[in-house]
């Protein structure tokens, strides 16, 4: 078995006990915010705290969480640990004050937490706030979990991809070369080059140290990912209740096979003898995020049926170890699940469900195989911790960023109570635009949920410009999300209505609705966008039909390019497209996850069948001759999903057509725009572009 090379930092600290936590000057922390006019701006958005990971103490009396504040001048954020006393009206104490972000808090006992700082695993005594560095992982640390008995730790670290010997010899003596030689696919993924892959390592844990010298690579010498890139984390593996087994997620593929398949599996590793068993063999789609029942007799996980369909329904799969029988608890439930958790007595399974425009918690009865809705509200629940009957959930809405809310498992369709309040002081100074849930008829006689967000200064006697928001994905729900990029309240604060349809292809409205987009990008989903725009232009007198623009990213930006070629009646007066697909033949060979092209477009363009013929015929570049509307194109260099040449091609086409056009390029961003200063430029450009075409000069100057 491989072992991870380690460096014990602060060796004296390891042998002489805890030291008082360090305090540093000039640490990024909570800013002082004064909102003069009640308008929510991009600058105010970046002054809000960002709730991160959280964990409840074993006795249920305390909750520890990470909170990140950002500095525009330093162009970065810093996460610190905070402690909430759940029995004392939410009294909150800041536990750390360092320039290096803390993450992954885990309770060891009611007075001890472990957490990560950089590549170190740190222990803290809560009562004294004294710290001890247990170990530093030289190859990097992405996260960890502690065994039920507290005697072992599983942590994520990276291993280097080994070049073949015949390639490696070419680099001899060339220590400054930047050249990259590849002979297989999946040499880059989403936003990074594949030079490393993650494995999970098992090491002994004591109060004094993590014994990394005795660490065992659970995956062994196989070059497979655990957790899976790019999204996987500590949720992809778990200890059994008795600490003798480890269940983990792995896609046992590399290179071309990896690029063409979503077939991952759940493996169970026995610590005593190192034997591994694949318990999801035969299931061809994603299998991920295993969770043992408390009695250890069963295991649940999220499971997709089809290989290559990354947006397939996530089924709730349960295996009974005694009978080796697998049961799909969502067989008669038309929605997918995530974030599974067992109740204390193993009689129920709770999970987050994308449900009709919101993320809610549902509970599945194991014996009766029934399901009920636990939470209710205009919100998204983006994860939760179950502690006895208490549910602590990370909750957002279009009008507020993440906070922790409390629910109870034994109740049905309940409203939550807020536990943390990291942004209340700022949000109390802001007039948010209200959100309205609208169900409108589609062109084929169905109903579609459209969120209508009002301008912050809404006056029913006035008219306002509006923006159609086109969702990415394409299989992604327009939910009650909060984002520092597509933030509807920033658009509201700039004086716009926002029309946000859950068009064909959005999950949360049944599998049939979601599946209607694959192979039909230019069909019903585009009609849904135009139907929603026309509906509000005709039925909402406060929306000026002569001042409507459209915007979107990823598939949403494809939608913009497609709409630009089908805007004969000038329904839209300005467009903005971010990191979108412009030329499908180009996209087919430039992307990295080829299973996506195979499933959604029907395959590469040279495979002549009805699905590919229809798909590639709807490539936006084929309709550039009909472009007649100003367009702003945004793209980023480190987007390997949809590479920057797509945006350049679209912008160049617009300029060659003689259109008013603008190109915003980020050489250091990915599919998203994450750096604070880049984000502020993004938002200022967004508002400026639409103000230029959708507002009168007086409106524009007032908004700025």
Question: Catalytic site residues?
Answer: 554, 639, 671
Q: Please give the Cα distance from 498 to 450 (Å, whole number).
A: 10
Question: Which of 685, 597, 590 is CA-nearest to residue 646?
Answer: 590
HEC profile for 274-315? CCEEECCCCCCCCEEEEEECCCCCEEEEEECCCCCCCCCCCE
Q: Please give the Cα distance from 455 to 465 (Å, whole number).
A: 9
What token pair was written down for 134? 């247990």
Note the helical H segments in 183-300.
Answer: 255-260
Q: Please give the Cα distance from 592 to 310 (Å, whole number).
A: 14
According to DSSP, residue 621 is labeled G
- Dihedral of the CA atoms 47, 72, 84, 137 (nearest 10)? 150
Q: Please give the Cα distance from 411 to 415 (Å, whole number).
A: 10
Q: Please give the Cα distance from 612 to 602 (Å, whole number).
A: 5
Q: Strand 196-204: give its sheet, edge to edge.
A: 143-146, 152-160, 196-204, 216-217
Cβ–Cβ under 8 Å, residues 574 and 563: no
What SS3 class is residue 263? coil
Q: Strand 325-328: give its sheet, edge to edge.
A: 287-292, 298-303, 315-320, 325-328
Cβ–Cβ under 8 Å, residues 160 and 562: no
Distance of CA 606 to the CA centre of its chain: 33
Across the strands, what pairs with 200? 156
The string over 52-84, giving b where at least 16 C-beta atoms fall within 10 Å of a residue's C-beta and e elsewhere, is bbbbbbeeeebbbbbbbbbbeeeebbbbbbbbb
Across the strands, what pairs with 217? 201
Question: For tokens 């520092």, what's the residue?
Answer: 484
Q: Please give the Cα distance from 676 to 195 (Å, whole number).
A: 27
Across the strands, what pairs with 386? 391
Question: Which of 362, 376, 370 is CA-nearest to residue 409?
Answer: 362
Cβ–Cβ under 8 Å, residues 152 and 202: yes
Note the helical H segments in 145-288.
Answer: 165-168, 255-260
In 72-101, the DSSP E strands lie at 76-85, 91-94
């Amino acid at each position: 078995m491989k072992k991870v090379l380690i460096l014990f930092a602060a060796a004296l600290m390891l042998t002489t006990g805890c030291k008082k936590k360090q305090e540093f000057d000039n640490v990024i922390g909570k800013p002082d915010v004064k909102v003069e006019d009640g308008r929510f701006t991009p600058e105010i958005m970046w002054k809000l705290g960002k709730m991160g990971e959280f964990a409840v103490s074993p006795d249920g009396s305390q909750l520890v969480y990470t909170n990140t504040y950002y500095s525009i001048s330093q162009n970065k954020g810093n996460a610190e640990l905070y402690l909430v006393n759940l029995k004392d009206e939410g009294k909150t104490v800041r536990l750390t004050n360092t320039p290096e972000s803390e993450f992954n808090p885990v309770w060891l006992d009611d007075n001890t937490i472990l957490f990560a700082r950089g590549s170190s695993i740190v222990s803290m005594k809560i009562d004294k706030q004294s710290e001890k560095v247990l170990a530093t992982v030289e190859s990097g640390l992405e996260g960890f979990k502690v065994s039920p008995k507290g005697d072992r730790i599983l942590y994520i670290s990276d291993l280097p991809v080994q070049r073949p010997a015949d390639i490696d010899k070419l680099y001899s003596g060339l220590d400054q070369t930047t050249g990259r030689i590849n002979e297989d696919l999946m040499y880059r993924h989403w936003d990074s080059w594949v030079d490393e892959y993650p494995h999970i390592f098992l090491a002994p844990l004591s109060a004094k140290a993590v014994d990394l010298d005795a660490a065992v690579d659970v995956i062994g010498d196989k070059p497979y990912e655990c957790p899976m890139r790019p999204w996987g984390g500590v949720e992809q593996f778990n200890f059994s209740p008795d600490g003798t087994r480890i269940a983990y997620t792995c896609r046992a593929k590399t290179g071309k096979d990896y690029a063409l398949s979503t077939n991952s599996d759940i493996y169970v590793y026995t610590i005593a003898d190192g034997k591994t068993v694949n318990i999801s063999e035969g299931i061809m789609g994603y299998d991920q995020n295993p969770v043992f029942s408390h009695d250890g007799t069963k295991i649940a996980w999220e499971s997709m049926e089809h290989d290559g369909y990354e947006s397939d329904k996530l089924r709730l799969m349960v295996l009974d170890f005694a009978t080796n029988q697998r049961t799909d608890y969502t067989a008669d439930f038309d929605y997918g699940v995530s974030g599974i958790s067992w109740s204390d007595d193993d009689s129920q399974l709770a999970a987050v469900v994308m449900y009709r425009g919101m993320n809610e918690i549902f509970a599945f009865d194991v014996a009766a195989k029934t399901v009920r809705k636990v939470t209710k509200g205009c919100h998204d629940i983006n994860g939760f911790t179950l502690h006895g009957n208490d549910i602590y959930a990370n909750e957002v809405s279009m009008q507020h960023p993440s906070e922790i809310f409390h629910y109870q498992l034994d109740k049905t369709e309940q409203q939550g109570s807020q536990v943390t309040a990291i942004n209340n002081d700022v949000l109390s100074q802001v007039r948010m635009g209200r959100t309205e849930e609208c169900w409108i008829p589609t062109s084929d006689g169905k109903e579609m949920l459209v969120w209508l967000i009002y301008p912050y200064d809404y006056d029913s006697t006035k008219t306002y410009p509006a923006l159609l928001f086109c969702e990415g994905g394409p299989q992604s729900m327009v939910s009650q999300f909060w984002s520092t990029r597509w933030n509807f309240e920033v658009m509201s604060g700039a004086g716009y209505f926002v029309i946000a349809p859950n068009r064909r292809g959005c999950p949360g409205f049944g599998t049939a609705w979601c599946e209607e987009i694959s192979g039909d990008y230019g069909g019903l989903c585009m009609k849904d966008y135009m139907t929603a725009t026309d509906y509000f232009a005709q039925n909402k007198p406060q929306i000026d039909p002569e001042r409507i623009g459209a915007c979107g990213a990823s598939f949403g930006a494809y939608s913009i390019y497609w709409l630009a070629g089908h805007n004969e009646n000038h329904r839209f007066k300005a467009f903005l497209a971010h990191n979108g697909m412009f030329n499908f033949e180009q996209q087919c060979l430039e992307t990295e996850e080829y299973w996506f092209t195979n499933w959604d477009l029907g395959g590469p363009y040279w495979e002549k069948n009805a699905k590919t013929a229809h798909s590639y015929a709807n490539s936006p570049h084929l309709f550039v001759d009909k472009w007649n509307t100003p367009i702003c194109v945004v793209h980023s260099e480190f987007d390997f999903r949809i590479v920057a040449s797509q945006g350049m091609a679209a912008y160049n086409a617009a300029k060659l057509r003689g259109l008013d056009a603008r190109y915003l390029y980020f050489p250091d961003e990915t599919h998203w725009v994450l750096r604070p200063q880049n984000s502020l430029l993004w938002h200022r450009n967004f508002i400026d572009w639409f103000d230029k075409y959708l507002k009168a000069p007086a409106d524009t100057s007032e908004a700025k």
